[in-house]
Chain A
Amino acid sequence: MTEKLHEFVETLKSANPEWVGDVKDALGEVTVTVPREHIFAACEFLRDSLGFDMLADLCGGDRGPEEDPRFEVNYHLFSTTHHKRLRLKVLLSEDDPKVESVTSLWKTADWHERETYDLVGVVFENHPDLRRILLPSDFDGHALRKDYPLRGYEPYSMN
Protein backbone atom coordinates (compact mmCIF):
# COMPACT_ATOMS: atom_id res chain seq x y z
CA MET A 1 0.00 0.00 0.00
CA THR A 2 2.78 2.41 0.86
CA GLU A 3 5.53 0.86 -1.30
CA LYS A 4 5.42 3.71 -3.76
CA LEU A 5 5.73 6.20 -0.94
CA HIS A 6 8.74 4.39 0.47
CA GLU A 7 10.28 4.58 -3.01
CA PHE A 8 9.84 8.34 -2.86
CA VAL A 9 11.45 8.43 0.57
CA GLU A 10 14.39 6.39 -0.72
CA THR A 11 14.79 8.78 -3.64
CA LEU A 12 14.70 11.65 -1.18
CA LYS A 13 17.33 9.94 0.95
CA SER A 14 19.59 9.27 -2.02
CA ALA A 15 19.36 12.92 -3.04
CA ASN A 16 20.55 14.03 0.39
CA PRO A 17 20.66 11.59 3.32
CA GLU A 18 20.54 14.48 5.79
CA TRP A 19 17.03 15.40 4.70
CA VAL A 20 15.40 12.24 5.99
CA GLY A 21 15.22 11.57 9.69
CA ASP A 22 12.68 9.28 11.28
CA VAL A 23 10.26 7.53 8.86
CA LYS A 24 6.95 6.32 10.19
CA ASP A 25 4.46 4.08 8.38
CA ALA A 26 1.11 3.91 10.11
CA LEU A 27 -2.46 3.34 8.89
CA GLY A 28 -1.36 3.55 5.26
CA GLU A 29 0.28 6.91 5.73
CA VAL A 30 3.96 7.72 5.66
CA THR A 31 5.40 10.46 7.81
CA VAL A 32 8.95 11.68 7.34
CA THR A 33 10.61 13.75 10.02
CA VAL A 34 12.84 16.35 8.39
CA PRO A 35 15.45 18.41 10.25
CA ARG A 36 14.46 22.01 10.49
CA GLU A 37 17.27 23.46 8.38
CA HIS A 38 16.50 21.12 5.46
CA ILE A 39 12.74 21.45 5.19
CA PHE A 40 12.79 24.00 2.39
CA ALA A 41 15.25 22.01 0.27
CA ALA A 42 13.37 18.76 0.87
CA CYS A 43 10.06 20.38 -0.07
CA GLU A 44 11.59 21.87 -3.18
CA PHE A 45 12.98 18.48 -4.23
CA LEU A 46 9.67 16.73 -3.58
CA ARG A 47 7.79 19.32 -5.58
CA ASP A 48 10.15 19.60 -8.56
CA SER A 49 11.52 16.06 -8.85
CA LEU A 50 8.92 13.76 -7.31
CA GLY A 51 5.70 15.45 -8.41
CA PHE A 52 4.30 16.52 -5.04
CA ASP A 53 2.84 19.63 -6.58
CA MET A 54 0.19 20.37 -3.99
CA LEU A 55 0.42 21.39 -0.37
CA ALA A 56 -2.86 20.03 0.94
CA ASP A 57 -2.37 21.34 4.46
CA LEU A 58 0.19 22.89 6.73
CA CYS A 59 -0.50 22.86 10.42
CA GLY A 60 1.24 23.29 13.71
CA GLY A 61 1.00 21.28 16.86
CA ASP A 62 1.87 21.75 20.50
CA ARG A 63 2.91 18.54 22.24
CA GLY A 64 2.73 20.18 25.63
CA PRO A 65 5.08 22.39 27.65
CA GLU A 66 6.79 19.36 29.23
CA GLU A 67 7.85 17.92 25.87
CA ASP A 68 11.10 18.65 24.10
CA PRO A 69 10.97 19.38 21.21
CA ARG A 70 7.68 21.00 22.05
CA PHE A 71 6.29 22.14 18.71
CA GLU A 72 5.82 20.42 15.41
CA VAL A 73 4.86 21.64 11.96
CA ASN A 74 3.24 19.15 9.61
CA TYR A 75 3.31 19.44 5.84
CA HIS A 76 0.67 17.37 4.11
CA LEU A 77 1.80 16.96 0.52
CA PHE A 78 -0.25 15.53 -2.31
CA SER A 79 0.85 14.51 -5.77
CA THR A 80 -1.75 15.01 -8.46
CA THR A 81 0.29 12.88 -10.90
CA HIS A 82 0.96 9.88 -8.63
CA HIS A 83 -2.17 10.39 -6.53
CA LYS A 84 -0.14 9.83 -3.37
CA ARG A 85 0.02 11.63 -0.05
CA LEU A 86 3.12 12.21 2.04
CA ARG A 87 3.50 13.93 5.36
CA LEU A 88 6.59 15.83 6.43
CA LYS A 89 7.15 16.76 10.03
CA VAL A 90 9.47 19.36 11.51
CA LEU A 91 10.13 19.36 15.24
CA LEU A 92 10.89 22.66 16.95
CA SER A 93 12.09 23.46 20.42
CA GLU A 94 10.29 25.93 22.62
CA ASP A 95 13.26 28.30 22.83
CA ASP A 96 13.60 28.72 19.09
CA PRO A 97 10.34 27.93 17.27
CA LYS A 98 11.46 29.11 13.86
CA VAL A 99 11.29 27.39 10.50
CA GLU A 100 11.83 28.41 6.90
CA SER A 101 8.68 29.45 5.07
CA VAL A 102 7.59 27.42 2.04
CA THR A 103 5.42 30.23 0.66
CA SER A 104 7.72 30.60 -2.34
CA LEU A 105 7.08 26.93 -3.23
CA TRP A 106 3.33 26.80 -2.68
CA LYS A 107 1.28 30.00 -2.54
CA THR A 108 -1.27 28.30 -0.31
CA ALA A 109 1.28 28.09 2.48
CA ASP A 110 0.86 31.83 3.05
CA TRP A 111 -2.35 31.70 5.09
CA HIS A 112 -1.59 28.28 6.56
CA GLU A 113 1.64 29.60 8.00
CA ARG A 114 -0.10 32.71 9.27
CA GLU A 115 -2.64 30.49 11.02
CA THR A 116 0.10 28.36 12.54
CA TYR A 117 1.89 31.48 13.72
CA ASP A 118 -1.35 32.92 15.10
CA LEU A 119 -2.49 29.89 17.08
CA VAL A 120 0.70 28.01 17.94
CA GLY A 121 3.33 30.70 17.74
CA VAL A 122 5.72 29.17 15.24
CA VAL A 123 7.65 31.86 13.40
CA PHE A 124 8.13 31.28 9.68
CA GLU A 125 11.22 32.98 8.37
CA ASN A 126 11.10 34.78 5.02
CA HIS A 127 7.31 34.77 5.09
CA PRO A 128 6.06 37.76 3.04
CA ASP A 129 3.40 38.87 5.52
CA LEU A 130 3.57 37.08 8.84
CA ARG A 131 0.81 38.50 11.00
CA ARG A 132 -2.27 37.16 12.77
CA ILE A 133 -5.07 35.86 10.61
CA LEU A 134 -7.82 34.52 12.90
CA LEU A 135 -7.41 36.26 16.24
CA PRO A 136 -7.60 40.05 16.73
CA SER A 137 -4.34 41.75 15.87
CA ASP A 138 -3.80 42.97 19.43
CA PHE A 139 -4.28 39.50 20.89
CA ASP A 140 -1.85 38.42 23.58
CA GLY A 141 -0.35 34.95 23.31
CA HIS A 142 -1.07 32.01 21.06
CA ALA A 143 -4.41 30.42 21.73
CA LEU A 144 -3.79 26.77 20.82
CA ARG A 145 -0.75 26.35 23.02
CA LYS A 146 -1.41 23.79 25.73
CA ASP A 147 -0.53 26.22 28.51
CA TYR A 148 -2.81 28.95 27.19
CA PRO A 149 -5.67 29.58 29.66
CA LEU A 150 -9.07 28.84 28.14
CA ARG A 151 -10.48 32.25 29.04
CA GLY A 152 -7.40 34.08 27.82
CA TYR A 153 -5.07 36.49 29.53
CA GLU A 154 -6.24 39.72 31.08
CA PRO A 155 -7.41 42.18 29.92
CA TYR A 156 -8.76 39.95 27.17
CA SER A 157 -10.66 37.75 29.58
CA MET A 158 -13.65 39.98 30.17
CA ASN A 159 -14.84 38.04 33.17
Chain B
Amino acid sequence: MGLENKIFESLPDVLTVKLDAVVNWARKSSLWPATFGLACCAIEMMNTVSARNDLSRFGAETFRASPRQADVMIVSGRVSRKMAPVLRRIYDQMPEPKWVISMGACATSGGVFDNYAIVQGVDKVVPVDIYVPGCPPRPEMLVHAITMLQDKIMKESVKDRTDTIEAESRGSVVPGTLPVTEGTALEHETEVEVAQKNISRPYTIPSRHERRRSF
Protein backbone atom coordinates (compact mmCIF):
# COMPACT_ATOMS: atom_id res chain seq x y z
CA MET B 1 0.00 0.00 0.00
CA GLY B 2 2.60 2.48 1.09
CA LEU B 3 5.88 3.22 -0.62
CA GLU B 4 7.83 1.39 2.04
CA ASN B 5 6.08 -1.87 1.12
CA LYS B 6 7.32 -1.52 -2.43
CA ILE B 7 10.83 -0.84 -1.18
CA PHE B 8 10.83 -3.87 1.10
CA GLU B 9 9.53 -6.04 -1.71
CA SER B 10 12.44 -5.07 -3.93
CA LEU B 11 15.18 -5.14 -1.30
CA PRO B 12 16.98 -8.11 0.22
CA ASP B 13 16.68 -8.80 3.96
CA VAL B 14 20.26 -7.87 4.68
CA LEU B 15 22.23 -4.86 3.46
CA THR B 16 25.96 -4.29 3.89
CA VAL B 17 26.93 -0.67 4.37
CA LYS B 18 29.69 1.26 6.03
CA LEU B 19 28.92 1.93 9.66
CA ASP B 20 30.09 5.50 9.20
CA ALA B 21 27.53 6.04 6.49
CA VAL B 22 24.63 4.89 8.64
CA VAL B 23 25.71 6.65 11.81
CA ASN B 24 26.55 9.88 10.03
CA TRP B 25 23.27 9.75 8.16
CA ALA B 26 21.44 9.45 11.47
CA ARG B 27 23.49 12.23 13.03
CA LYS B 28 23.07 14.68 10.22
CA SER B 29 19.34 14.04 9.97
CA SER B 30 18.60 15.22 13.49
CA LEU B 31 20.93 18.04 14.36
CA TRP B 32 19.56 19.56 17.52
CA PRO B 33 20.81 23.07 18.15
CA ALA B 34 21.20 24.51 21.62
CA THR B 35 18.76 27.27 22.49
CA PHE B 36 21.26 30.04 22.57
CA GLY B 37 20.84 33.52 21.12
CA LEU B 38 23.32 36.33 21.66
CA ALA B 39 22.29 39.30 19.54
CA CYS B 40 20.34 40.37 16.45
CA CYS B 41 21.48 37.25 14.54
CA ALA B 42 19.34 35.29 16.99
CA ILE B 43 16.24 36.94 15.50
CA GLU B 44 17.19 35.55 12.10
CA MET B 45 17.92 32.20 13.73
CA MET B 46 14.40 32.15 15.20
CA ASN B 47 13.07 33.06 11.79
CA THR B 48 14.94 30.12 10.31
CA VAL B 49 12.97 27.78 12.52
CA SER B 50 9.64 29.44 11.83
CA ALA B 51 7.12 28.36 9.23
CA ARG B 52 8.45 30.29 6.25
CA ASN B 53 11.95 28.87 6.26
CA ASP B 54 11.12 25.73 8.21
CA LEU B 55 14.40 24.32 9.40
CA SER B 56 12.61 21.09 10.30
CA ARG B 57 12.89 20.11 6.63
CA PHE B 58 16.52 19.39 7.49
CA GLY B 59 15.87 17.89 10.91
CA ALA B 60 17.38 20.75 12.87
CA GLU B 61 14.31 22.45 14.26
CA THR B 62 14.44 20.97 17.75
CA PHE B 63 16.18 23.63 19.79
CA ARG B 64 17.06 22.06 23.12
CA ALA B 65 17.03 24.13 26.26
CA SER B 66 19.79 22.02 27.78
CA PRO B 67 23.21 21.81 26.15
CA ARG B 68 23.35 18.19 27.35
CA GLN B 69 20.81 17.32 24.68
CA ALA B 70 22.18 19.50 21.91
CA ASP B 71 24.37 18.58 18.95
CA VAL B 72 25.13 21.90 17.36
CA MET B 73 25.79 25.30 18.85
CA ILE B 74 24.78 28.25 16.71
CA VAL B 75 26.73 31.24 17.97
CA SER B 76 24.29 33.88 16.81
CA GLY B 77 25.79 37.27 17.47
CA ARG B 78 28.62 39.13 19.11
CA VAL B 79 30.37 37.44 22.01
CA SER B 80 31.48 39.86 24.68
CA ARG B 81 34.61 39.18 26.67
CA LYS B 82 32.51 38.53 29.71
CA MET B 83 30.15 36.18 27.86
CA ALA B 84 32.99 34.10 26.40
CA PRO B 85 33.59 31.86 29.45
CA VAL B 86 29.85 31.20 29.60
CA LEU B 87 29.81 30.25 25.94
CA ARG B 88 32.78 27.98 26.43
CA ARG B 89 31.06 26.34 29.36
CA ILE B 90 27.94 25.64 27.31
CA TYR B 91 30.18 24.11 24.65
CA ASP B 92 31.89 21.94 27.23
CA GLN B 93 28.54 20.77 28.55
CA MET B 94 27.47 19.52 25.15
CA PRO B 95 28.21 15.82 24.63
CA GLU B 96 30.02 14.54 21.58
CA PRO B 97 29.31 14.63 18.72
CA LYS B 98 29.05 18.38 18.69
CA TRP B 99 29.49 21.05 16.08
CA VAL B 100 29.62 24.83 16.10
CA ILE B 101 28.22 27.27 13.57
CA SER B 102 29.56 30.80 13.80
CA MET B 103 26.66 32.91 12.58
CA GLY B 104 27.25 36.40 11.28
CA ALA B 105 30.16 38.80 11.00
CA CYS B 106 30.42 39.49 14.75
CA ALA B 107 30.70 35.87 15.85
CA THR B 108 33.12 35.17 13.02
CA SER B 109 35.49 38.11 13.33
CA GLY B 110 34.10 40.66 15.77
CA GLY B 111 32.45 42.50 12.89
CA VAL B 112 32.19 46.24 13.39
CA PHE B 113 32.91 45.82 17.09
CA ASP B 114 36.67 46.02 16.88
CA ASN B 115 37.11 46.99 20.51
CA TYR B 116 38.14 45.82 23.96
CA ALA B 117 34.72 44.42 24.86
CA ILE B 118 34.06 41.94 22.05
CA VAL B 119 35.89 38.69 21.33
CA GLN B 120 37.37 39.06 17.86
CA GLY B 121 36.02 35.81 16.49
CA VAL B 122 34.39 33.04 18.48
CA ASP B 123 36.95 30.57 17.10
CA LYS B 124 39.30 31.91 19.77
CA VAL B 125 37.01 30.30 22.34
CA VAL B 126 35.47 27.24 20.67
CA PRO B 127 36.37 25.29 17.50
CA VAL B 128 34.10 26.39 14.66
CA ASP B 129 32.90 24.13 11.86
CA ILE B 130 30.97 26.52 9.65
CA TYR B 131 31.24 30.28 9.31
CA VAL B 132 28.22 32.17 8.01
CA PRO B 133 28.89 35.68 6.70
CA GLY B 134 26.33 38.47 6.84
CA CYS B 135 25.09 41.15 9.15
CA PRO B 136 22.85 39.46 9.99
CA PRO B 137 22.79 36.49 7.60
CA ARG B 138 19.45 35.80 6.00
CA PRO B 139 17.65 32.66 7.22
CA GLU B 140 18.41 31.04 3.87
CA MET B 141 22.10 31.37 4.65
CA LEU B 142 21.69 29.63 7.98
CA VAL B 143 19.75 26.87 6.26
CA HIS B 144 22.63 26.63 3.78
CA ALA B 145 25.07 26.45 6.67
CA ILE B 146 23.10 23.59 8.21
CA THR B 147 23.14 21.69 4.94
CA MET B 148 26.86 22.36 4.58
CA LEU B 149 27.34 21.02 8.08
CA GLN B 150 25.39 17.94 7.07
CA ASP B 151 27.74 17.43 4.13
CA LYS B 152 30.64 17.80 6.49
CA ILE B 153 29.17 15.27 8.94
CA MET B 154 28.80 12.71 6.16
CA LYS B 155 32.54 12.88 5.59
CA GLU B 156 33.41 12.25 9.21
CA SER B 157 34.31 8.98 10.88
CA VAL B 158 32.59 7.58 13.94
CA LYS B 159 36.00 6.99 15.49
CA ASP B 160 36.62 10.72 15.55
CA ARG B 161 33.67 11.34 17.77
CA THR B 162 34.18 9.34 20.91
CA ASP B 163 32.58 10.92 23.91
CA THR B 164 35.76 11.15 25.94
CA ILE B 165 36.67 14.14 27.97
CA GLU B 166 39.41 15.81 26.06
CA ALA B 167 42.17 17.83 27.58
CA GLU B 168 41.71 20.67 25.15
CA SER B 169 38.03 20.79 25.93
CA ARG B 170 38.45 20.83 29.70
CA GLY B 171 41.38 23.17 30.00
CA SER B 172 39.29 25.93 28.61
CA VAL B 173 41.00 29.22 28.12
CA VAL B 174 39.11 31.92 29.90
CA PRO B 175 39.09 35.08 27.80
CA GLY B 176 40.53 38.10 29.44
CA THR B 177 43.51 35.92 30.27
CA LEU B 178 44.09 34.84 26.70
CA PRO B 179 47.64 35.23 25.43
CA VAL B 180 48.23 37.49 22.46
CA THR B 181 48.51 35.35 19.37
CA GLU B 182 49.09 36.05 15.74
CA GLY B 183 45.98 34.05 14.93
CA THR B 184 45.53 30.41 15.87
CA ALA B 185 47.76 27.67 14.51
CA LEU B 186 44.73 26.30 12.73
CA GLU B 187 44.24 29.58 10.92
CA HIS B 188 47.85 29.55 9.75
CA GLU B 189 47.51 26.01 8.44
CA THR B 190 44.35 26.96 6.63
CA GLU B 191 45.99 30.01 5.11
CA VAL B 192 48.80 27.84 3.77
CA GLU B 193 46.34 25.32 2.38
CA VAL B 194 44.29 28.02 0.73
CA ALA B 195 47.44 29.54 -0.74
CA GLN B 196 48.45 26.18 -2.16
CA LYS B 197 44.89 25.65 -3.36
CA ASN B 198 44.78 22.31 -1.57
CA ILE B 199 41.53 23.15 0.12
CA SER B 200 38.30 22.68 -1.72
CA ARG B 201 36.04 24.71 0.54
CA PRO B 202 37.71 27.94 1.55
CA TYR B 203 34.64 29.05 3.49
CA THR B 204 35.17 26.42 6.17
CA ILE B 205 38.24 25.54 8.10
CA PRO B 206 38.63 21.89 9.01
CA SER B 207 37.48 21.04 12.51
CA ARG B 208 39.88 19.35 14.88
CA HIS B 209 38.12 16.10 14.08
CA GLU B 210 38.79 16.46 10.39
CA ARG B 211 42.39 17.32 11.07
CA ARG B 212 42.84 14.31 13.29
CA ARG B 213 41.70 12.09 10.46
CA SER B 214 44.25 13.44 8.08
CA PHE B 215 47.15 12.57 10.40
Contact = CB atoms under 8 A, between A and B. Distances in A.
B108 interface: no
A156 B176 contact: yes
A135 B116 CA distance: 10
B180 interface: yes
A134 B177 CA distance: 17
A137 B181 CA distance: 22
B114 A150 contact: yes
B187 to A, nearest CB: 13
Interface residues of A, number: 17
Main secondary structure of the interface of A (DSSP, over half): loop
**Most chain B beta-carbon contacts within 10 A, residue among A138, A151, A154, A158:** A158
Interface residues of B, number: 16
Q: Which of B114, B115, B116, B119 has the most CB of A within 10 A?
A: B116
B176 A150 contact: no
Interface string B116-141: 11011000100000000000000000
B196 to A, nearest CB: 26
Contacts of B81: 135-136, 156
A57 to B, nearest CB: 22
A148 B117 CA distance: 12
Contacts of B119: 158
Interface in A141-159: 143, 148-152, 154-159
A138 B115 contact: no
Nearest to A134: B82
Contacts of A143: 116-117
B116 A136 contact: no
Interface of B: 81-82, 114-117, 119-120, 124, 175-181
15 contacts: A135-B81, A135-B82, A136-B176, A138-B176, A149-B116, A150-B115, A151-B114, A151-B116, A152-B116, A155-B178, A156-B81, A156-B116, A158-B119, A158-B175, A159-B120
